[in-house]
Structure 1
Amino acid sequence: MVTIKDIARLAGVSPSTVSRVVSNHPRISPETSRKVKAIMEEQGYHPNVMAKSLVSKTTQTLGIMLPRPAEELFQNYFFGELLRGIVTQATRMNYDLLMTTATSSSDEVNTISRLVRGRRVDGVLLLASKRDDPLIAFLSQERFPFVLIGRSEAYPDAAMVDNNNVQTAYDATQHLISQGHKRIGFVSGPPDLTLSHDRLLGYRQALDEHDLETRAEWIVEGEFLQESGFRAMSQFMSLPERPTAIVVIDDNVAFGVLRGLSELGYRVPDDISLVSFNNIALSEMASPPLSSVDIGTYSLGYTAVQSLLRVISGEPIHQNPVIIPHRLIVRESSMNPTFKRS
């Protein structure tokens, strides 16, 4: 088994220099670093991570709490793009990722507790925020480094990376209003999520600004699953007076909306217009192509890792929350100038 002393002897440097190369120490010259790494690769040497962790008291690992229920992660393309941003930046900074999930709120806290108190990770990324979130409460109480992708009302000083979700929904609703719609519905997510609350607020603000009616039956809550969108359409289309346009909280849910409308015999945008969020790759390939708010999903994940590494190193965060800009991508699902909207 090749040791650090073997690498040092072959490279003509000291074992401490090899150790600094492994740790990407800034005082090691690029030439020395390249030489040592080439010999390490040639000899098949891999640093003893556990031994290194005992010395440095770090793990070079970040924990990720996956959303619950876990099936959402694998059925929603948003999380794939979010994780792509996370993995890219973590890899660039030589950090590994440890992903975990749970079946209940209490299990989530127990799971994170094992990671934190067992010192298995240097910091934690939370991929979603609840309005009353025990995970944020626990991590704040432990004073353990974490970053929230989302917003916390109860812990405004927590490090956060987010969109202005009130504004994103306001812009989406405003676009439908500009197309002449007066009866606009909203397909929301779980009510305990801050995201659902903020986007519903933006939707209401846009309607209020134009003195348009908001009806309880025009707002349907669900999960971030296609099935939720499908069920919402059954509810909307059974109403005596249905909306002529709908804001949908997530592209994945919007695909279920499109399927439900198609099976019920309605056409988009001739009979009803749609705007959604996230602008995943499949949005452009939907039938019809889906208007969607691009929230910079990749940037959310990438920036969250950057922020977490600053928190871990004790660097000040000058902007909190870090707000990732958004833009509305208008496609066929919300454009129909010939539709009579009364």
Structure 2
Amino acid sequence: MAVTIKDVAKKAGVSPSTVSRVLSNHPRISTQTSIKVKEIMEQLGYHPNIMAKSLVSKTTESICIILPKPAEELFSNLFFMELIRGIVTQANRSGYDVLLSSGANEKEEVEAVARLLKGRRVDGAILLYSRNDDPVIEFLHANNYPFVIVGRSNDHPDVLSVDTDNVQAAYDATKHLISMGHERIGFVSGPPNLTVSQDRMKGYQDALIDAGLEMRPEWIVEGEFLQDSGYRAMSFIMSLPNRPTALVVVDDMVSFGVLRGLHELNFKVPDDICLVSFNNITLSELSTPPISSIDIGIYHLGYTASQMLIQNIQNGEDITYQTRQIIPHRLMIRESSMLSLPKR
């Protein structure tokens, strides 16, 4: 027979309503009583009925993570794994469960999110990406559901978001290459509809403009946040008659593809071409050669996004923080960008 609240209350010597208040983290329950009741729950193997609890408290104490597509991008890129680790860690500390949601296309993404939120299965959502004209953001915003974007929204700058200053980060990466004597600097970008690609492109361009350097369209290649994109980009860039001597690459995983492509073409880094990347995932330091990368605090991005969402769910409009949080970045200089060119 299943253990009930009454069983827990009887053994703990408290009323069933006190047990219910412990389950809902009621502020009037003392720490001592809360610890005692939770110990009894564990002893008896009691598990609360989440559906019944949510009907009473009007909260599921669950959030969902809306995954980007394509799926192979997520599961092959350690950036997303570290981001999710930060989200889940903070959510668990706050007593929230985390669900994952995805779709093969934008229509399926909206349908999946609608089922979760309209069906009261989760209290809010975190988007791991930001793109232009996003129907998921439009749905969440129109229905006033709590959500946080990792990135920023061009269409709704007022929504809750946590981000890196990607314009400044790309400016710093490009400026570093300029300081090493490079004047022909290319850019391997991500999908152009993503704000992170747009912002990093702008920072790269601003640095070149400020330094009075040439900016050639053929030195810019767009793709996905996948190794294969970096690999394919090298076949084009390294065949140019006036090719770049250095590259800014939008993501560490893309950089691994860049290194593989350069190796197969018999070019060496940094001897033949230097590069700086973004995200500073663990493998960037362990690659051959180690990759110079902008550390954007991935775990902190996820942790802060989860914290902001749960505070918004619990407090509604009564929030005490800015709607957009910026996580500091720093350039980690390694061997891939450490060859100086003579100044003209």
TM-score (norm 1): 0.98
Counterparts of 1:143 and 1:31 in 2: how far apart (Å)? 38
Counterparts of 1:88 and 1:73 in 2: how far apart (Å)? 19
Distance apart, 1:82 and its partner CA: 0.2
CA contact (8 A) 1:307 1:317 kept: no
1:74 corresponds to: 75
Counterparts of 2:114 and 2:3 in 1: how far apart (Å)? 36
1:224 corresponds to: 225
Specify which of 324, 329, 332 is matched with residue 329 of structure 1: 332
Counterparts of 1:223 and 1:154 in 2: how far apart (Å)? 22
1:196 corresponds to: 197
Residue identity in the other structure for 2:327: I
1:119 corresponds to: 120
1:94 corresponds to: 95
CA contact (8 A) 2:3 2:44 kept: yes
Distance apart, 1:69 and its partner CA: 0.6
CA contact (8 A) 1:310 1:317 kept: no
2:301 corresponds to: 300
SS in structure 1 opposite 2:286? coil
Distance apart, 1:25 and its partner CA: 2.0
Query: 2:18 aligned with 1:17, yes or no?
Result: yes
1:45 corresponds to: 46
Distance apart, 1:203 and its partner CA: 0.2
Q: 1:137-182 CA deviation, whole Å, 9 max, x = no partner?
A: 1111001111111111110111111111100100000000000000
Alignment of 1:139-178 (within 5 A): 139-178=140-179
Residue identity in the other structure for 2:11: L
Counterparts of 1:23 and 1:151 in 2: how far apart (Å)? 33
Distance apart, 1:266 and its partner CA: 0.6
SS in structure 2 opposite 1:41? helix
Residue identity in the other structure for 1:77: L
1:281 corresponds to: 282
CA contact (8 A) 2:24 2:57 kept: no
1:58 corresponds to: 59
2:36 corresponds to: 35
Counterparts of 2:298 and 2:108 in 1: how far apart (Å)? 27
2:266 corresponds to: 265
Distance apart, 1:341 and its partner CA: 7.0
CA contact (8 A) 1:244 1:341 kept: no
Distance apart, 1:120 and its partner CA: 1.3
Q: What residue ranges of structure 2 are gaps of 5+ in the alignment?
A: none
Q: 1:238-277 CA deviation, whole Å, 9 max, x = no partner?
A: 1111100000000000000011111110110011001000
SS in structure 2 opposite 1:284? helix
Residue identity in the other structure for 2:223: G
Deviates more, 1:307-316 or 1:217-226: 307-316
Residue identity in the other structure for 2:126: L
1:206 corresponds to: 207
Residue identity in the other structure for 2:335: E
SS in structure 2 opposite 1:274? strand
Q: 1:288-338 CA deviation, whole Å, 9 max, x = no partner?
A: 01100000100000000111112212132431210000000000100013x
CA-atom RMSD, angstroms? Answer: 1.1
CA pair 341-111 structure 1, distance change in 2 beyond 3 A: farther
Residue identity in the other structure for 1:330: I
Residue identity in the other structure for 2:75: F
1:316 corresponds to: 319
Q: What residue ranges of structure 1 are gaps of 5+ in the alignment?
A: none
Distance apart, 1:58 and its partner CA: 1.0
Percent identical among aligned pairs is: 64
